[in-house]
A and B are shown apart, each in its own frame.
Chain A
């Protein structure tokens, strides 16, 4: 028999049986002719949506259709950081809900997602930046989120090897969120897929959506490479390709697709125990449990659907790293890769109805989608099931640009490559 519940007992038993009893974590489902809800996109957000729909809003017949394979998109391409250190009221409750869902995730999914609340430390390098961080920390605390403003001595105790006396960018202190940290990204995809499958969700891989079928204003199904699938409601969670999929429904989105690169070094001994970000450039780093330094920086900065980037940004990211912690200079780069980001016009996501009845959109995650995975799934499920926005995601409207309610966390204006 296969062990569908993972526990110390199943591990012990299987270790005695030579691990011959493990079954596949989820079924390789073939598409049925018709579902109550079809989720387009089997990434973290799509799978989480299907899971919460089945768990809290069922019974529903649900399918997730995925062009490639589970874990092959941005959920397997990010730098695994989770945090809820936002500034604006439209964002904080949403990301804090996500943080709380991360804290419960492994129990909820019965899956080891390696949730590690090792702390996220954002460094500041000037008086003005300290004031901005104090403001952000206060905004967080007013919403019940943990935040601590550290001076230089406190940062020195945590990470003594940083370049504190850098001539241009001396480190004055940092804003610390202790509950932030990292989560094993692939395990999030696999855990949600397995848990959704157990609740009866069909996960259909290698199934690309080719078009939507409408009757009047209403959506009635999707054309896919594996045939037509009828659906009462369709939710799209296809970050990176949102404009392409939405165009099939005749929509033009406030989104540009951009490439973001991420990097991992060869494995070294334990060195950095939290997440550290450089405030004077754009550089963030943590160390995986295997020992590799996982880091990243800015977008390449131009529209791209190629899942690879260019060399000037590699140089820029490495310069940021060297300015912050010169001792990583001799560590060799193992791999680097690119993922396609939905860059929205204000840097914030969209979870909303579309003008097409029965078609819902979850998009515009910029490069902060991974940390939002659980709350995005829960709020999108709520929207699809109830036809009303979840209370913490009310601000993420598609029409907010037209009505002047943009949520511009960085104050950059409608320039997607600067968010």
Chain B
């Protein structure tokens, strides 16, 4: 498995650190059900057998956080995006809906 970092190009797996599911979102602490939401956010995972969006950190490279979409049964990577770009996109999307 090699990961194509958007800044450094295709690099070996051992340059990267894994940080799990990228689809869980930190809940609003002011929500009335915040306790349950935080339990779910910190501990519960969908753990799908197919495509998985996940966070990787290019520790031995450019230090960028990446959102990688990968098939967990095949190890095939279909997209690598900078986590910053993903977050900015999501932010502008929520602004638009407001």
Q: Show the binding face of A for B, using Cβ within 8 Å.
A: 241, 243-244, 247, 252-257, 301-306, 310-312, 315-316, 345, 401-402, 414-417
- The answer, among A303, A315, A417, for a CB contact under 8 Å with B47, is A303
Q: Which residue of A lies closest to B76 (CB)?
A: A306
In the complex, chain B residues whose CB is within 8 Å of the CB of A301: 18
Taking the complex as formed, is B34 at the interface, i.e. its CB lies under 8 A from any CB of chain A? no
- The answer, among B13, B40, B45, B52, for a CB contact under 8 Å with A255, is B45
In the complex, chain A residues whose CB is within 8 Å of the CB of B59: none
Q: Which residue of A lies closest to B36 (CB)?
A: A402
In the complex, chain B residues whose CB is within 8 Å of the CB of A252: 40, 44-46
Q: Are B46 and A303 in contact (CB under 8 A)?
A: no
Taking the complex as formed, is B20 at the interface, i.e. its CB lies under 8 A from any CB of chain A? yes
From known contacts A243-B47, A312-B14, infer whether A414 and B42 are also in contact, taking CB-CB under 8 Å: yes
Q: Are B44 and A254 in contact (CB under 8 A)?
A: yes
- The answer, among A255, A303, A306, for a CB contact under 8 Å with B74, is A306
Docked Cα-Cα span, A375 to B49, in Å, equals 29
From known contacts A302-B54, A303-B52, infer whether A401 and B39 are also in contact, taking CB-CB under 8 Å: yes
Nearest chain A CB to B8 CB, angstrom units: 17
Nearest chain A CB to B54 CB, angstrom units: 6
Docked Cα-Cα span, A326 to B42, in Å, equals 42
In the complex, chain A residues whose CB is within 8 Å of the CB of B20: 256, 303, 415-417
Docked Cα-Cα span, A310 to B52, in Å, equals 18
Q: Are B13 and A303 in contact (CB under 8 A)?
A: no
Docked Cα-Cα span, A244 to B46, in Å, equals 9
Q: How many A-B residue pairs have CB under 8 A?
A: 70
Q: Are B72 and A254 in contact (CB under 8 A)?
A: no
Q: Show the binding face of B for A, using Cβ within 8 Å.
A: 1, 12-14, 18, 20-21, 36, 39-40, 42-49, 52, 54, 70, 72-75
User: Which secondary structure characterizes the binding site on chain B?
Assistant: mixed
- The answer, among A241, A306, A402, A417, for a CB contact under 8 Å with B18, is A417
In the complex, chain B residues whose CB is within 8 Å of the CB of A402: 36, 39, 43
In the complex, chain B residues whose CB is within 8 Å of the CB of A416: 20
Docked Cα-Cα span, A256 to B21, in Å, equals 9
Q: Are B47 and A253 in contact (CB under 8 A)?
A: yes
- The answer, among A243, A310, A414, for a CB contact under 8 Å with B43, is A414
From known contacts A252-B44, A252-B45, infer whether A305 and B18 are also in contact, taking CB-CB under 8 Å: no
In the assembled complex, 28 residue pairs joining A and B whose CB atoms fall closer than 8 Å, in A order, are: A243-B47, A244-B47, A247-B46, A252-B40, A252-B44, A252-B46, A253-B47, A254-B43, A256-B21, A256-B45, A257-B49, A257-B72, A302-B18, A302-B70, A303-B72, A304-B72, A304-B73, A305-B49, A305-B72, A306-B72, A306-B73, A312-B12, A312-B13, A401-B39, A401-B42, A401-B43, A417-B18, A417-B20
In the complex, chain A residues whose CB is within 8 Å of the CB of B47: 243-244, 253, 255-257, 303
In the complex, chain B residues whose CB is within 8 Å of the CB of A316: 14
In the complex, chain A residues whose CB is within 8 Å of the CB of B46: 243, 247, 252
Q: Are B54 and A303 in contact (CB under 8 A)?
A: yes
Q: Are B74 and A254 in contact (CB under 8 A)?
A: no
In the complex, chain B residues whose CB is within 8 Å of the CB of A345: 42-43
Q: Are B44 and A253 in contact (CB under 8 A)?
A: yes
- Top 6 A-B residue pairs of the complex, sorted by shortest distance between their CB atoms: A243-B47, A312-B14, A254-B43, A401-B43, A302-B18, A402-B39
Docked Cα-Cα span, A242 to B77, in Å, equals 24
Docked Cα-Cα span, A302 to B49, in Å, equals 13
Nearest chain A CB to B67 CB, angstrom units: 13
Docked Cα-Cα span, A305 to B45, in Å, equals 15
Docked Cα-Cα span, A254 to B39, in Å, equals 10
